[in-house]
Structure 1
Amino acid sequence: MTLKTHSSQDLLNTYRPLIDKLSLPEKVRLLSGETAFTLPGNESIGLAEMAFSDGPTGVRGLKFYGDPVALFPNATLVSGSWDDDIAREVGVLLSEEAARQKIHVVLGPTINLHRTPLGGRLFEAYSEDPYLTGRTAANYVNGMQASGTGACLKHLVANESEEMRNFMSSSLSETALREVYLTPFEIAVQDAHPYSMMAAYNDVNGVPATEQDHVQNQIVKGEWDWDGLIMSDWYATKHTSESANGGLDLVMPGGDGPWGEHLVEAVNRGEVAESTIDEHLARLLLLAERTGALSSDRSQLRTFEQQMPSPTDPARAEQLKRIASRGMVLLKNESDLLPLDSGTVALSGHHALATQNMGGGSAQVTPPYQVSIADGLGALLGSRLAVADGPWPRRRPLAVDPESVTDPGTGTAGMEVTYFAQDGSVIKKFHSDLAEITVGWDDDGSQIPARLRIRAKLSDTIETARLGAMGAGRWTLEYQDAQGTVVSLDRSCEFATNDPGEAILRPPAFEQICKVAAGSVVTATVDLVDTDWSARLLEDPRYNMVAESHMAGFDSFGKFALVATDVPVDENQLIAAAAQAAGQADTAVVVVGLTEEDETEAADKTTLRLPGEQDELVRQVAAAAKRTVVVVNAATPVLMPWLEQVDAVLVVGLPGQEGGHAVAEVLTGVAEPTGRLVTSYPAEDAASPAWSTSVDGDLALCYSEGSFIGYRGYAASMAPAPLFWFGHGLGYATWEYHGAQREGDQVRVELTNTGRRSSRETVQLYFQPDDVSQPVRLVGYQGIQVGPGAKASVSVEIDPRMMRAWDEESGNFVELGGGTFLLARSLGDVRLSIRS
């Protein structure tokens, strides 16, 4: 897409007539949010309100838990296709979802890197490689913006871990910043021109990301000549003048914060020039014009009247299923076990029945439905399939499924919720068909309640249950036991960190196993705590917080839920039953994985081991079965101590609302798993070039590996060889490479599909510099579909942005010297090499 760009002076000249109509307070008013996800308008200059929505695995809308929307396959399945067309299509479909909900800007894609496999938010990001990430992002943005919706690259920059993310400082060299962490942003800017970016929570080398004059003004707006808008992450802005002068254009969300009257006063004191405010406003007006929210003629504003597919549209289901299957990765396939033949199948594992189709945090949506692997495979295999549960894979309590309880007042599925004021009077009482209740965030309440009550009637079939609650406060939970006696549980849930995001994204919780009467009504009442975030954040100088900071102004708020889940039988019995079923079938398929408590915003992992007794499930099933397939329902690496005992391993990521159908089609050969890994899989914990996400006493996290991130570090022997390399993936065919030659800015290679099926191959081109101080790096890739026994010629373009190194002495990029091009299926399977 060709887009006219503007210099800062051009922007000011273009919008000067509108800017000059506004007073300083009116200008500043437009540079902060109106509500959690909207911006204010101004009729005098033809500016309509704008609406933003979280992404990138669905367009959630203006509510953290709102109306049903389409749940897309997660980011690693999109990038795992290594296919520009898939990334572009996802952008188009998300734009349709945005238009259906009258959203101007989708807050995605997330293009931070998979620096360490422990990162909790990796499922939202594309890969460990800056080139694959940037190229995927550029195509996603092009698809989205060509369809009329603005994209927002996030999070600028070096935001690769979640621990203490609001306060920690990523410590890295200028070389690593330029060669690795800024590269995806640069590629997306040059190849797609995104309308906006989001500044991260963290500091970078001691300076908050929202105040990074070096990154935001000098590099992004200066060197790259980018004319888009930089907004803060939600509540990320710490200081007034520093952020305004440092290149931030918009503070989010709405409410009291560090700009508003504080920024007006800073201008009046001479700390911030009014011309700086004017430039921020000009960038906002350009964003509004590009997304249809600015016109002197109100009838010309974007009205979103075009009818878009619903989240349950059959055509949408087919699209989501195809996208998911294209990114799935076949890691191992002994004796061509997959695709499955006509024999009987024993399916086991808790993830088979409760498939994890999305991660946690701001990427969560409320989908219209979710298809489990058991349902998907059952639809294709019918009576040939036997299904068994598996051990519980969770460590934290799980909010009640609102479909499994009824509202005692209405008798319909869901719960009764009541808000109380401090004096005990009822603020509001309503029915909820959502699992979790958010308070004081986006609930549009007239006042923050002092007490919250949730009531729900359990199913008549439940005799033993995990009962509890989620959310900070003092809880009282009442239920009837097996004898009909009312039992009361009193618990206090306290925050574990000083991160205000914990209240919404990872609230404290409790549960215990209880014997309950059939159909018992459970009543959970919580007295909300006064978090007093301001005092907690201001008292520690390491947090670099001031009184006007957005984050230091939090009122009581949080996420609350009832915990009420049926307790399965003893886990040893579950494993034994799964093994027994596996021994009676022709093939065993065991599904293992992670949950949204492992792959989530606001928390990192501490190990790559599968939670619970899932490894033992695989071992016992494999020991009993004739042939064993392991399906890994996770977006990020896990350890595989059972790898040599099983015949096939398929990684299916977090596959979205059509996940079960997509997995079933791949297992049975209706679709091919054409994906390639986007993250190297370590052989054991700590065996990677970068590992820990823990900060030191000064809240700093050192990026000591420099530019040797991921496969680059493995190739330089900075860690033991990985279990599986970045780029690995088998598909359902085998390949021969021959005849490689350099042709200008391309490398050409001849391929032969030596398999029995038509298949897609992804030719990966790496460059190994002769200079050993420089890492090997991916410089191009190209996919192609080839029939069985057929030959094809593939040309892979060399991206010149990957053929350079940062010279800290001169402060510029310089071209790399000599080296070797490697044509590979991954760095663990190099097929050909040629000198540069």
Structure 2
Amino acid sequence: MTLKEKIALCEGKNFWETRDFPQYGIPSIFMCDGPHGLRKQEVTGREPSGVNESRPATCFPAAVSTACSWDEELLGKIGAAIAEEALDQGVGVFLGPGVNIKRNPLCGRNFEYFSEDPYLAGKLAASYIKNAQKNGIATCVKHFACNNQEYRRFNSDSVIDERTLREIYLTPFEIAVREGRPKAVMCAYNKINGVYCSDNKVLLTDILRNEWGFEGVVITDWGAMNDRIAAFKAGCDLNMPGGSNYMEQEVLDAVARGELSEAEIDRSAERIKKMVREAYEVLGNRTGCDYNAHHELARIAAEQSAVLLKNEDDILPLKEWQKIAIVGDMAGNMRYQGSGSSHINPTKLVQPADVLKSRASVEEADVAVVFAGLPPEYESEGFDRDSMEMPPEQVRLIEETAAKNPNTVVVLFCGAPVETPWADRVKGILYMGLPGQAGGEAVKNLLYGIANPSGKLAETWPIRYSDCPSAAYYPQRDGQYREGIYVGYRYYDKANVRVRWKFGFGLSYTEFAYSNPQINGETVKITVTNTGKRAGAEVVQLYIAPPHDGIHRPVKELKRFAKVFLTPGESREISFTLDNRCFAVWDGGWKVPEGKYTVLVGGNPDKLTVAGVVEKAGEKIKVPYWQPGSWYEKPFGPPPLEQWEKMIGSKYVPYTPQKGNFTMNDTLAEMKKDSFIMRILYWYVKISVTRGMKRGTAEYRMMVESSVGSPLRNLQISGGMSGKIFRGLLAIANGKYIKGLRTLLKNDGMY
């Protein structure tokens, strides 16, 4: 291949396909979104106007739900099923799972991610990946890394200290890569400490490849490429979408002058060729798949992932003889999936109202069941939520129903925690998350006890948003990770802040008891018994409580878990094997501080059993000079800016776009107030991308933020337009009118 051809191979052919070179035996393969089901858009040119038109596929519960199953085997089955459908539909790579940490409950894309805990997220993702790739189809774990907000996601800078980066935000990717061995990793849009992920050699080569052993392809998020020369050096292989020839000439010039070696391009080209050929070989042997069986798996997954948050007076399960009142629009139009690039066109859809019938009006009913939650315009890819509040009409519906009938149950559909001021007024709360296309059947089975709820929350539900440590500074253009390692339960535990429901909490229609805890070396054993009258599943959680006489640490951290199914009266001994990583902190490397570590085991975060103590000789970790007396020793409320700056070792200076210094990394939304030409372009782009869409919908808001909120380089890549057009307009926006016009009129054949 010529150098130009190899560079071309490292960019897609169009929006969804890789580039083919038949003369060299290199075929093209199709990629599509797929965290919880395929979104295959048959159009292969530029992105169609909407994101909701796609070929039918099974819509499994979103990660917000399946994470609550705490079931690695279940996630493996889902991954394998999606891979079967990918093979059936001719898809070589599907983009998922997403393992980004749920840092703040307002992140609009939290429904696509598993947990606030890195160990839980990583283990579930690893099983999903490993089983999905058994038939040869590739997965692409995303978004690497520190992509924890939708606001300004294309050019935000995640400013973070190294310990927090390693212990919290890289750990789920590390587990997914080491254990799942994905064939692809998607690099995120944002910067990390000033360096775009696509350009970040430390992230993509030193850590991902050299330290974790990743051998696959790094694919950009769509339009995430920054500097293609730096990206080749960093180990970023495939620029998507294709069709713009983004920085092709600049790369050729860099090789010619010796700034970039051809060998670095060869490495990326070889990795892409290997992935494409492996997938193409498998795609030649399509066997079809059983979509009906996948619908049943989606139902089972929804049942196993539901979390029973309240069950006063054992109001659930319902009895067949009871008169039930069904209340709320979501009974017939449940929220079963998120909005944005993961939106799936389901093969079939069963609503609660299809399988449940109202037998009374509210006042006359034995039990009133209210179906409520967040509508799609409240949470989506592309924008963050404005608050943790539910729509006022939904709250009013619950409160009015509860006032009329003391036996009220709420079935809740939402992709992230919400404030629940009504929780004390109802007797039962069943959290379904976003349960997928079989959600209606799952709801019926759970309400009537055909299925026993066994889910445990994979994230903390605060009482109010202001209780979150990052609430005071989230989101801003840059992600200020001031809270450090104190994310989710790590903060609430240490700050002793009361929450609505804790991480790891979930009720059942049966009961479980723990007995006979043992520690032998670093093997922990405990017996779990179903002491109730129904068969059910328990999630056994193991936490390590570290010593607190040195470097600051959380009260406890999840290190192991297992889901066990037991019949009434059945007992089973659960065994966990610990390793040094269970006790380690990051201090220029993984180190185990000396001291005594308490091992806690149980299924309820408020009733953990002390299994024993493990004493580690370890090593003495030097306490940072800024730690004594700081927020990080005794966190409460938002961490002060000055203390965070001491922790990261530098003064934080926010970026402000300024006329005269605008760059290709600035957006139309940022430049329009200071530039007439950008104001015109802003309105042109906004009108073009939203033509035919209803204002205020999730799709409309996403498309606006993904266009006028994108850097100019992103618009160039995704729009397939000549780079000189954007460079010319940029020069004009910066007041350099003659230079801008010359650039626009210049006919040099360059992109």
TM-score, length basis structure 1:
0.70
**What is the Cα deviation at residue 805 of structure 1?**
0.6
SS of 1:50 mapped into structure 2: coil
CA distance 1:801–1:41, change in 2 (3 Å): farther
Higher strand share: 1
Alignment of 1:765-804 (within 5 A): 765-771=542-548, 773-775=552-554, 776-798=556-578, 800-804=580-584
What is the aligned residue count?
600
Q: Any conservation in 2 of the 1:738–1:832 contact (CA below 8 Å)?
A: no
Distance 2:391 2:258 in 1: 56
Distance 2:256 2:36 in 1: 43
**What is the Cα deviation at residue 585 of structure 1?**
0.3
Could you tell me which of 180, 194, 214 is aligned with 2:182? 194
**What is the Cα deviation at residue 261 of structure 1?**
3.1
Alignment of 1:816-831 (within 5 A): 816-817=593-594, 818-831=596-609
Distance 2:471 2:76 in 1: 32
**What is the Cα deviation at residue 744 of structure 1?**
3.6
Partner of 2:62: 74
Partner of 2:332: 353
Could you tell me which of 486, 500, 504 is aligned with 1:708? 486
Could you tell me which of 248, 257, 269 is aligned with 2:236? 248
CA distance 1:92–1:661, change in 2 (3 Å): same
Could you tell me which of 164, 167, 174 is aligned with 2:155? 167
Partner of 2:446: 666
Alignment of 1:665-744 (within 5 A): 665-691=445-471, 694-696=474-476, 699-717=477-495, 720-744=497-521
Alignment of 1:744-763 (within 5 A): 744-763=521-540
Structure 2 residue 164 is the aligned partner of structure 1 residue 385: no
Deviations 1:411-448 (A, max 9, x none): xxxxxxxxxxxxxxxxxxxxxxxxxxxxxxxxxxxxxx
Could you tell me which of 602, 621, 629 is aligned with 2:409? 629
Partner of 2:11: 32
Distance 1:800 1:121 in 2: 33
Distance 1:754 1:623 in 2: 35
SS of 1:137 mapped into structure 2: helix
CA distance 1:797–1:689, change in 2 (3 Å): farther
Q: Any conservation in 2 of the 1:735–1:755 contact (CA below 8 Å)?
A: yes
Partner of 1:553: none
CA distance 1:286–1:799, change in 2 (3 Å): farther
Q: Any conservation in 2 of the 1:168–1:695 contact (CA below 8 Å)?
A: no
**What is the Cα deviation at residue 371 of structure 1?**
1.7
Distance 2:465 2:331 in 1: 26
RMSD of aligned residue pairs (Cα, Å): 1.6
Q: Any conservation in 2 of the 1:28–1:277 contact (CA below 8 Å)?
A: yes
**What is the Cα deviation at residue 701 of structure 1?**
1.6
Could you tell me which of 364, 388, 394 is aligned with 1:608? 388
Report the residue type matching 2:41 in the other structure.
Answer: L
**What is the Cα deviation at residue 290 of structure 1?**
3.3
Report the residue type matching 1:679 in the other structure.
Answer: E
Could you tell me which of 619, 635, 645 is aligned with 2:425? 645
**What is the Cα deviation at residue 598 of structure 1?**
2.1
**What is the Cα deviation at residue 233 of structure 1?**
0.3
SS of 1:821 mapped into structure 2: strand
Identical-residue share of aligned pairs (%): 34
CA distance 1:151–1:745, change in 2 (3 Å): farther
**What is the Cα deviation at residue 246 of structure 1?**
1.9
Structure 2 residue 613 is the aligned partner of structure 1 residue 835: yes
Q: Any conservation in 2 of the 1:351–1:592 contact (CA below 8 Å)?
A: yes
Distance 2:439 2:100 in 1: 25
**What is the Cα deviation at residue 370 of structure 1?**
2.1
Higher helix share: 2
Q: Any conservation in 2 of the 1:592–1:614 contact (CA below 8 Å)?
A: yes
Report the residue type matching 1:236 in the other structure.
Answer: A
Partner of 1:179: 167
Distance 2:433 2:137 in 1: 27
SS of 1:820 mapped into structure 2: strand
SS of 1:370 mapped into structure 2: coil
CA distance 1:322–1:693, change in 2 (3 Å): farther
Could you tell me which of 87, 101, 123 is aligned with 2:75? 87
Structure 2 residue 586 is the aligned partner of structure 1 residue 586: no
**What is the Cα deviation at residue 133 of structure 1?**
0.3
Partner of 2:642: none
Report the residue type matching 2:306 in the other structure.
Answer: M
Report the residue type matching 1:62 in the other structure.
Answer: Q
SS of 2:80 mapped into structure 1: helix
Q: Any conservation in 1 of the 2:541–2:560 contact (CA below 8 Å)?
A: yes
Deviations 1:752-805 (A, max 9, x none): 222110111111000111036112210001111122133222223335433211
Partner of 1:297: none
Partner of 2:37: 58
CA distance 1:301–1:325, change in 2 (3 Å): closer
Task: Between 108-117 and 783-792, report the one with greater CA deviation.
Answer: 783-792
SS of 1:597 mapped into structure 2: helix
Distance 1:692 1:56 in 2: 31
Deviations 1:377-426 (A, max 9, x none): 23xxxxx635xxxxxxxxxxxxxxxxxxxxxxxxxxxxxxxxxxxxxxxx
TM-score, length basis structure 2:
0.78
Q: Any conservation in 2 of the 1:635–1:652 contact (CA below 8 Å)?
A: no
SS of 1:613 mapped into structure 2: helix
Distance 2:467 2:338 in 1: 25
Distance 2:579 2:185 in 1: 23
Query: Displaced runs of 4+ in structure 1, greater than 6 A?
Result: none
Report the residue type matching 2:557 in the other structure.
Answer: R
Task: Between 823-832 and 352-361, report the one with greater CA deviation.
Answer: 823-832
Q: Any conservation in 1 of the 2:27–2:277 contact (CA below 8 Å)?
A: no
Alignment of 1:268-307 (within 5 A): 268-291=256-279, 293=280, 302-307=283-288
Distance 2:579 2:95 in 1: 27
Deviations 1:316-368 (A, max 9, x none): 22111111111000011112111111201101112112101110000002223
Partner of 2:684: none
**What is the Cα deviation at residue 824 of structure 1?**
2.5
Distance 2:472 2:604 in 1: 25
Distance 2:485 2:494 in 1: 11
Distance 2:98 2:18 in 1: 22
CA distance 1:301–1:821, change in 2 (3 Å): closer
SS of 2:599 mapped into structure 1: strand
Report the residue type matching 2:350 in the other structure.
Answer: V
Deviations 1:447-489 (A, max 9, x none): xxxxxxxxxxxxxxxxxxxxxxxxxxxxxxxxxxxxxxxxxxx
Deviations 1:116-142 (A, max 9, x none): 111110100111100000000000001
Alignment of 1:500-519 (within 5 A): none
Alignment of 1:470-619 (within 5 A): 581-619=361-399
Partner of 2:669: none
Q: Any conservation in 2 of the 1:325–1:673 contact (CA below 8 Å)?
A: yes
Alignment of 1:409-428 (within 5 A): none
Distance 1:635 1:816 in 2: 38
**What is the Cα deviation at residue 693 of structure 1?**
6.6
CA distance 1:692–1:281, change in 2 (3 Å): farther
Q: Any conservation in 2 of the 1:376–1:663 contact (CA below 8 Å)?
A: no
**What is the Cα deviation at residue 301 of structure 1?**
6.4
- Gaps in structure 1 of 5+ consecutive residues: 1-21, 294-299, 379-383, 387-580
CA distance 1:666–1:797, change in 2 (3 Å): farther
- Gaps in structure 2 of 5+ consecutive residues: 43-50, 615-751
Deviations 1:541-580 (A, max 9, x none): xxxxxxxxxxxxxxxxxxxxxxxxxxxxxxxxxxxxxxxx
Structure 2 residue 207 is the aligned partner of structure 1 residue 219: yes
Deviations 1:729-756 (A, max 9, x none): 1121112212211134431112222211
SS of 2:85 mapped into structure 1: helix
Structure 2 residue 296 is the aligned partner of structure 1 residue 322: no
**What is the Cα deviation at residue 158 of structure 1?**
0.4
Report the residue type matching 1:26 in the other structure.
Answer: E
